[in-house]
Amino acid sequence: MLQLREINQAYEDQHTLWDINLEVVHNSCSAIVGQQGTGKTTLFHCILGFLPIMSGEMTWQPQNTLPCSLISLPSQHRSQLGMTYVPQGSPIFSQLSVEENLLIALKAGQPSVLPAKLPLLISELFPTLIAQRHQRSGSLAKGLQYQLALARAVITHPKLILLDEPSEGLTASEEDQLVATIAALTKDYSISVLLMDNNLAFVKRVADSFTLLHHGRSVMSGTAADLIRFSGTEGGMRQHHSLG
């Protein structure tokens, strides 16, 4: 549904991304992995239209639609096509309740409609969160705060969600919950996910495919099984340890 071909980007004279190729398939979770400073955030910002690119092609093609080029589309048009983003660190309105946070996100997605109640997919995907709908969101545990940030992105039923370091700061059980939620999003709700995360153990559990960035280049890509094989090799283990 999203295809990047030979993407190049520079911050003024600092060439940062070199000939990046990447594909996100329908109903799947893809992961970008790589060391700090290798260009993951820059690539996300190019996909979202926050940063211009120097050259390359980005094609958007949700199921049963014709392909369209994203290159000349501003970021708000990309979000209207069904692309949304959860930045690092659970961005929520911490003074507001869970429900208020969700209704604001719903209203932002459909400005002409005054939302009366939460859509069914939210209570199906986030039952623990909805059980605490009247609680002030800043008082929730870290894992539930992340669930809320994710639910705010899911609430308008996008086609693709980009997640920036989703496993950061989560406990093992919160990570388990997130793995299950992402699997449900991709397999049951046809919402694809592209995430970047340095936690290879998490990526191996959650992603169907991966792309490894190194010094701004996509040096390896493959399936989750390839990633498991790669991180089991001696060279891969060195890379694995340096990712964290």
Ligand X SMILES: Nc1ncnc2c1ncn2[C@@H]1O[C@H](COP(=O)(O)OP(=O)(O)OP(=O)(O)O)[C@@H](O)[C@H]1O
Give contact residues for ligand X (rule: CB under 6 A): 11, 14, 16, 34, 36-42
Q: How far is the CB of 164 from ligand X (least distance, A)?
A: 8
Report, in Å, the least distance between residue 205 CB and ligand X.
20
**CB 10 → ligand X: shortest distance, Å?**
9
Smallest gap, in angstroms, from Cβ of residue 89 to ligand X?
Answer: 12
Q: How far is the CB of 99 from ligand X (least distance, A)?
A: 32
* Nearer to ligand X (CB atom), residue 38 or residue 181: 38
Distance in angstroms between the alpha carbons of the first and the last residue of the chain: 29
Q: Which is nearer to ligand X, 36 or 139 (CB)?
A: 36
Closest CA to 202 of 166, 231, 235: 166
Which residue matches tokens 């964290």? 244
Please list, in sequence order, all residues whose beta carbon lies within 8 angstroms of the beta carbon of residue 236, skipping any fewer than 6 positions away.
229, 230
Residues 6+ apart with CB under 8 A from 80: none
Residue (50 or 189) nearer to ligand X, CB: 50
Given the complex with ligand X, which of 34 and 166 has the nearer CB atom? Answer: 34
The residue among 231, 99, 238, 83 whose CA lies nearest residue 158 is: 83
The amino acid sitting at 201 is A
Show Cβ contacts of residue 147 under 8 Å, excluding neighbours closer than 6 positions: 126, 128, 129, 177, 178, 181
Q: For residues 38 and 239, which CB has a smaller minimum distance to ligand X in the complex?
A: 38
Give the type of residue at 2.
L
Q: Sheet containing 55-60: give its strands across.
A: 68-69, 55-60, 2-11, 14-24, 217-223, 209-214, 29-33, 192-196, 160-164, 83-86
- Smallest separation (angstroms) from ligand X to the CB of 13: 10
Name the minimum Å distance from CB 51 to ligand X: 8
From CA 208, how far away is CA 223, in angstroms rounded? 6
**Tokens 């099984």 correspond to what residue?**
225
89 vs 222 by CB, closer to ligand X: 89
Report the residue number, 52 or 232, with the smaller CB distance to ligand X. 52
